[in-house]
Amino acid sequence: MKRRNFMLSSAAAGLVAYANPSDAGAQIKKRRLLYFTKSSGFEHDAVKRDGDRLSHSERIVSDLGSKYGFDVVCTKDGGQITAKNLANYDSVMFYTSGNLLEEGTDKHPAVSAQGMQELFDWVKAGGGFSAWHAGTDSMRRESADQPTTEYTKMVGGAFAGHHKQEPATVINVDPEFPAVKRMPLLFRFNEEWYIHDQINTLGTMHVLQILDTQSMEQETYRELGPIPMTWCSNYGKGRVFVSGIGHRFDVWEMPLIQGMVIDSLAWTFGDVEGDASPNYDKVMK
């Protein structure tokens, strides 16, 4: 396969076309997405609202829903995470932070312990779930001597830190998978690059994109070696998609990233098939 190496300027110019909704499978039938953006910990600008105005990422995801024919409900209310309410949705998308069982930073209602368990049960029964950027900085253990939380097991890793933002290259290691099938094999842009620990705890991780730390200026990243940046898995019968990408406003505005949002949702909705069998040991050698 011929390598495609697109710089940010090329990606922003829209070299990858996402104009046809049927390409993403998002209009096979009407779908509903719950976009949950509660910040019990640090509140990222991408999910910070100005009064009643939706945040930057909420507006973009809502606009994508309007364009591609699925309904989007944006909420910071943890009381919406219940079995009764989840039954109204085909997929749930988290851009959250901190211990969601607590009201925390944004003062919106917390998720109840029962509601969190009902989320796990809903995904295991076949629901779709995705987590972007700070979604891995949620419901994680407080110290290394504690067991991995069920949320981290479902997501596949927990935020461990980051260094200053800088441009870096991301490698698409599974261009056949529907969530990243239209992504270039190599693409480079500026971002806040997450480092994760407790990676692949359940042994089910299917890595989709790797951060090429050798492409970075900061030695602290280069010393780490390749880092999984985007992955998926099956959690019970459910479909889970996770990406550490999504800190910066301009990243959310990239056609390339918006395309990955659409294509990953098509997979978590169950409208397209993709083999999420474990590949971590193979691609992270």
Q: Can you give the pLDDT at residue 219?
A: 97
Alpha-carbon distance of 202 to 187, in angstroms, equals: 29
Residues 6+ apart with CB under 8 A from 136: 152, 155, 157, 158, 159, 194, 196, 242, 244
Q: Which two tokens stand for residue 196?
A: 């994760």
Amino acid at residue number 5: N
Question: What is the pLDDT, as a whole number, of residue 10?
Answer: 33
Q: What CA–CA distance (Å, rounded) separates 167 from 268?
A: 29
What pLDDT was estimated at residue 285?
79
The closest alpha carbon to 29, from 70, 78, 65, belongs to: 70
Per-chain mean pLDDT for the chain: 91
Q: Which residue has the tokens 């891995």?
A: 136
Below-50 pLDDT ranges, the chain? 1-28
* Residue 271: half-sphere exposure toward Cβ, Cα within 13 Å: 23
Q: What is the pLDDT of residue 243?
A: 98
Burial of 130 (0-12, 13-18, 19+ CB in 10 A): buried
- Element of type H or E holding 117: helix 113-124
- What pTM does this model have? 0.91
